[in-house]
Structure 1
Amino acid sequence: MSETKSKIILIGAIDKGHNPTNGETMKNQLFIRRFHELFAKVIAIDTLNWRKRPWVLIRIFFVLLFNRQTKVIISSSAAASYLISFLYYVPLCNYVYFWVVGGNLHLGIAQGKYNIKALKKLTHIIVQGQSMVNELNKVGLSNAIYVPNSKPIIYSPKIRPHKADKPYRFVFLSRVHPDKGITDITAAAQKLIQEGYGNKFSIDFYGQIASGYSDMFMTLISGVDNVNYCGYLNLLDNDGYQKLSEYDAMLFPTYWSGEGFPGIVIDANIAGLPIIATDWNLNKSVIEDGKTGFIIPVHDSNALAMRMMNIIDQTVDLHEMKKNCVQYVQQFDFRRVLSGELMRKIKLY
């Protein structure tokens, strides 16, 4: 179609040539992949670690200067607030979009991190939840629009009943940061052991360990049987999802302030894993309690342990929940979400 024969500029943390290490780099790498299908040309500018690479700002200026009719997407990065303000005072482009990663933009606005007048001038502010739209509307941002997180659905797991003689395998897959509920997971594991479940479960952690947290994290898990750190799990191909699907359920007791619509919720669903997650930010709106997972209170390791015991004791229908996950996730396929219809709706076409 001729409407796709246009050009787009994407500015954000990409980490091109490397496996993504967080939700932002994952999202931007997927954006580039999908936008190459939708547009004739994608100009991608990587702002990862921009303070150590100030020349990237010069590149942004000249790319925008010589492509003034091209539509620009600023996909959340540490430089986003500065870029949005700059383009407000130096309007190089007519169409600028802020595609938000995470769920705390309204808090950043309240803290004065963003120029509200500059945000109002943007074509659209694209956020991951309707509740985020509502929060932005309250501060006068009528240009906010909800578009859910999305990923390529490249894998379909074989859902099999749990073997009675096998321990239940739980997995954590995210950035290994204290605010992701790491201590709650280890406390829940200790409670299960105390209750006589020591030979009935295991917990594996995957993800990049946050800077300065490695020693504390390793000390935490070394004191708990059945808990292991397994490094990085690559979900860019079927092998990663195959490995993930071998687990029984995912643990995600997060209280990280920047959490929005976590991509790992989609990953868990793709692999057919119910997810036990905290009632935090958008989790309740993207996890169907009792159907695709369980919502528990924040900072409640006892509730986490109880839900893990429910799974181990088979007082919940884990097999049915796994099937629910695989059906539920289809709506978040990135070709369905990032469609030509959406491009027209938000005026990228």
Structure 2
Amino acid sequence: MRHIMAKAGIIGHFGYGKELANGQTIKTKTVTGELRKQLGRENVITLDTGGGIKKLFIILLKCIRVLKMADNVIIMPAYKGLRILAPYISFFNFFEKKKIHYIVIGGWLPEYLEKHIIVRRCLKLFHGIYVETEAMKRKLERQKFNNVVVLPNSKDICVLAESELKDIKERPYRLCTFSRVMKEKGIEEAVYAVECINKLCGKVIYTLDIYGQIEKGYLERFERILKENESYIRYKGVIPSRKSVEILSGYYLLLFPTYYKGEGFAGTLIDAFSAGLPVVASDWKYNSEIVTAEVGFLYSYRERKQLVDLLVKLYENNELVNGKRMACLRKAKEFSVESVISVFCKYLD
């Protein structure tokens, strides 16, 4: 009797049994949840790659099982996993002849493939490589890829109703960050800017609330930073995904001063747009493609003075900020997980 094939098998880091709030796990779960909605739960099987080197042998064996049980195999590894999965899947797919899809998480792939020739060759055999931005696609096409598709990041999130949108006029203005709490995400750039402006003005004109999971190894330094600026900077913990819009909608601006080397299309930007919250971001990596003049403001990354000057300007001209709130809501609708994954599903046929 012939075994009934699943439409899609997803290999990625689900973090089952753990409370993980990193971009890789969130995107893997988001994509999987929507595929189950659109294809039917019975047509989607999964394999969790969590567990590291201790479970590598078992994971690799299960990869073969996924290849045999699904018409389409979707992999969603980070760079360490890609180095193993791409050659392994390519080899066994020589016999299975399935469509292999790689949904890229973050913006590190083009630079990574310049140094990893074997992985690059394997990925060219895949049915599709799905990157988050047009700029990433262009970089890969310069490496002779012809199977690259832009599939922007997306979230299963309720966009704030236009009737609930409010201009923020109460001072001091409340700023926030909403990302992993680590130096490379620009946490200290944000702290410096707020500290500098408040000292310059001789009073508190901005406060800063920091949300997100604190990176291992950064806790001690971060606690020291909070203690030194406790009158206007606070750590507010991790926001449950279903409450992000409700909480973020009360802020004046979201600060995203990242210079994280793996940055792609950060999910935090979708949360901000969905809350009608304009963004002040560094022009690092692909931010300029997402944080356009319609929905936010850019400054040169690691240029702290530019950030300070921009925030002073936006304090003095709140109409520049409040005038972008409606555009943020419109922008957010472009990144609904339903619409993005419906496009992806066309490549599974």
Task: State the match for 2:233 in structure 1.
Answer: 227
Instruction: Determine whether 1:305 maps to 2:298.
Output: no
Matches within 5 A, 1:1-349: 7-16=7-16, 18-40=18-40, 41-54=43-56, 56-64=58-66, 66-67=68-69, 70-77=71-78, 78-91=80-93, 92-112=96-116, 115-157=119-161, 158-164=164-170, 166-196=171-201, 198-224=203-229, 225-235=231-241, 237=242, 239-289=243-293, 291-314=294-317, 316-339=319-342, 341-344=343-346, 346=347, 348-349=348-349
Normalised by the length of structure 2, the TM-score is 0.91
> Which runs of 5 or more structure 2 residues have no equivalent in the other structure?
none
Change beyond 3 A, Cα 1:65–1:249: closer
Deviation at 1:197, TM superposition (A): 5.7
Deviation at 1:52, TM superposition (A): 3.5
Change beyond 3 A, Cα 1:49–1:17: closer
Secondary structure, counterpart of 1:121 in structure 2: coil
What amino acid does structure 2 have at the position aligned with 1:57? I
- Residues 107 and 262 of structure 2 are in contact (CA less than 8 Å); yes or no, is this contact kept in structure 1? yes
Query: Larger helix proportion, structure 1 or 2?
Result: 2
- Residues 97 and 125 of structure 1 are in contact (CA less than 8 Å); yes or no, is this contact kept in structure 2? yes
Counterparts of 1:176 and 1:56, CA distance in 2? 33
Counterparts of 2:153 and 2:238, CA distance in 1? 22
**Percent of aligned pairs sharing the same letter:** 26
Counterparts of 2:236 and 2:67, CA distance in 1? 46
- Residues 50 and 79 of structure 1 are in contact (CA less than 8 Å); yes or no, is this contact kept in structure 2? no
**Structure 1 residues 304-325: Cα deviation after superposition (integer angstroms, max 9, x where no partner):** 2222222222254222111111
Counterparts of 1:119 and 1:30, CA distance in 2? 23
Deviation at 1:247, TM superposition (A): 1.1
Deviation at 1:93, TM superposition (A): 4.4
Counterparts of 1:318 and 1:62, CA distance in 2? 52
Change beyond 3 A, Cα 1:276–1:113: farther
> Which runs of 5 or more structure 1 residues have no equivalent in the other structure?
none
Counterparts of 2:169 and 2:61, CA distance in 1? 56
Secondary structure, counterpart of 1:210 in structure 2: coil
Change beyond 3 A, Cα 1:103–1:114: farther
- Residues 276 and 325 of structure 2 are in contact (CA less than 8 Å); yes or no, is this contact kept in structure 1? yes
- Residues 99 and 127 of structure 1 are in contact (CA less than 8 Å); yes or no, is this contact kept in structure 2? yes
Counterparts of 1:282 and 1:197, CA distance in 2? 36
What amino acid does structure 2 have at the position aligned with 1:230? K
- Residues 257 and 282 of structure 2 are in contact (CA less than 8 Å); yes or no, is this contact kept in structure 1? yes
**Structure 1 residues 144-171: Cα deviation after superposition (integer angstroms, max 9, x where no partner):** 111111112413152223244x311000
Counterparts of 2:92 and 2:188, CA distance in 1? 47
- Residues 277 and 283 of structure 1 are in contact (CA less than 8 Å); yes or no, is this contact kept in structure 2? yes
- Which stretch of the first structure deviates more once superposed, 153-162 or 136-145? 153-162
Secondary structure, counterpart of 1:195 in structure 2: helix
Counterparts of 1:169 and 1:159, CA distance in 2? 16
Counterparts of 1:262 and 1:85, CA distance in 2? 28
Deviation at 1:62, TM superposition (A): 4.2
Secondary structure, counterpart of 2:213 in structure 1: coil
Secondary structure, counterpart of 1:54 in structure 2: helix
- Which stretch of the first structure deviates more once superposed, 188-197 or 137-146? 188-197
Deviation at 1:240, TM superposition (A): 3.1
Provide the aligned length of Structure 1 versus Structure 2.
337
Change beyond 3 A, Cα 1:343–1:167: same
- Residues 108 and 114 of structure 1 are in contact (CA less than 8 Å); yes or no, is this contact kept in structure 2? no
